[in-house]
Structure 1
């Protein structure tokens, strides 16, 4: 997710945040690795139920800039050659996809450099669908995280915390991306919430919308704060409503093209 209207002044302000987070990035990666240890018992006790959290990527799937996110051209024809093959071109940030730290920093971790230990982790789902039904730009706030902890216990270090807003049900309609006036409108995280999660050693955040930031964000504060800290995000998650708030293990099939800022991913949850 990129936006041509991000002002230089915003970038300069966020650079100071990157410098601050850089000092704790190593600690964050270590705690993220702890998340893999926490994930293993959950997987071992699993009943084997797998929920696909990935939307099918087609040229019609909504994108932030409104352009098709994928193009498929036949490269080899089955009738002519006995097998078939397509040449696929896609935008990195289309469909269900990863935002790597490099997406919003000049020299951050690229998608191929993500620590594999952070790609298998406990999944914690924060449900804000009730307030999102009232406010299309609703955000996960610190109070929502505190309420989740009160109900479910501590968020494990190395976890992925995902927002359930109900927006995945709007895929295929204009309301997934914009309001009736054509303005971006969808829920996301607040920077206060992601700062809180950063302090807990959370490895990733995820949303069932187009962006980690809410649609009416003018500065992409969550992107600039969360990603340069060495953590990653997942956008356009599907089927979160089929999972409990806690207890699932997340498997993130991140792409591995060298120097990538992200890319479409197959994301699975195991119960």
Structure 2
């Protein structure tokens, strides 16, 4: 089985959502003083490649730590979206060529190519976003989650987080943001896992996202 890591590295200088404090990775114990190394990690729950829970926006909805582990693993399909430019909506036409496979998938991962701007100003600009019709399709077809290689699924200017609210208000679905390496997967269904940190009252969490492909 071939494993492809879809996770951005957490560093002190990494891109974070505008207004969010960057991570702090402080060496708390050293080989010289303590005989071992230990790092104090301090970062927001929506740092790097991460997952949003319904509890992120709705206090009465489900927390990540309340979801079964099966929520985070399943069949996935990459949706090619490189044809969409800055600020454009990804509509159902993007799914049309692969609709049968999309219907079978538990996760849809949208490859916009925006991860090429990781660490650059363009990453926080106008990136492609899914249409509300695509979000409703995900809900109606019982998807476990949607994933994106962008910093969000709503435009930076949308302070109301319209698409987040549409998805997270209705059922237990997760949103995965800041994915990378989606170009390395290819066509067809594959096994996908994005396992979040399990902590109390989890509104979101960094994940280690991986694609597991059958060797040819």
Same fold (TM > 0.5): yes
Task: Check 1:113–1:215 CA distance in 2 against 1; reply closer, same or farther (3 A cut).
Answer: same
Residue among 80, 88, 104 paired with 2:33: 80
Higher strand proportion (structure 1 or 2): 2
Aligned residues: 212
Note the alpha carbon deviations across 1:247-268, whole angstroms, 9 max, x for none: 2110111111010101111001
Unaligned ranges ≥5, structure 2: none
* Structure 1 partner of 2:198: 256
* Structure 2 partner of 1:130: 83
Task: Check 1:99–1:263 CA distance in 2 against 1; reply closer, same or farther (3 A cut).
Answer: same
Higher helix proportion (structure 1 or 2): 1
* Aligned partners of 2:84 and 2:128 also within 8 Å: no
Residue among 104, 108, 111 paired with 1:156: 104
Question: For 1:75 and 1:195, how far apart are their aligned partners in 2?
Answer: 46
1:246 to partner: Cα distance: 2.3
Question: For 1:255 and 1:188, how far apart are their aligned partners in 2?
Answer: 26
Question: For 1:257 and 1:205, how far apart are their aligned partners in 2?
Answer: 22
* Structure 2 partner of 1:234: 176
1:19-30 pair list within 5 angstroms? none
TM-score normalised by L of structure 2 = 0.92
1:180-259 pair list within 5 angstroms? 185-229=126-170, 230-259=172-201
Question: For 2:143 and 2:30, how far apart are their aligned partners in 1?
Answer: 46
SS in 1 for 2:169: helix
Question: For 1:128 and 1:62, how far apart are their aligned partners in 2?
Answer: 22
Unaligned ranges ≥5, structure 1: 1-47, 179-184
SS in 2 for 1:92: coil
* Aligned partners of 2:101 and 2:189 also within 8 Å: no
Residue among 78, 89, 93 paired with 1:143: 93
SS in 2 for 1:80: helix
Question: For 1:130 and 1:119, how far apart are their aligned partners in 2?
Answer: 28
Task: Choose 1 or 2 for highest CA Rg.
Answer: 1
* Aligned partners of 1:124 and 1:155 also within 8 Å: no
Question: For 2:192 and 2:155, how far apart are their aligned partners in 1?
Answer: 23
Pairwise CA RMSD: 1.6
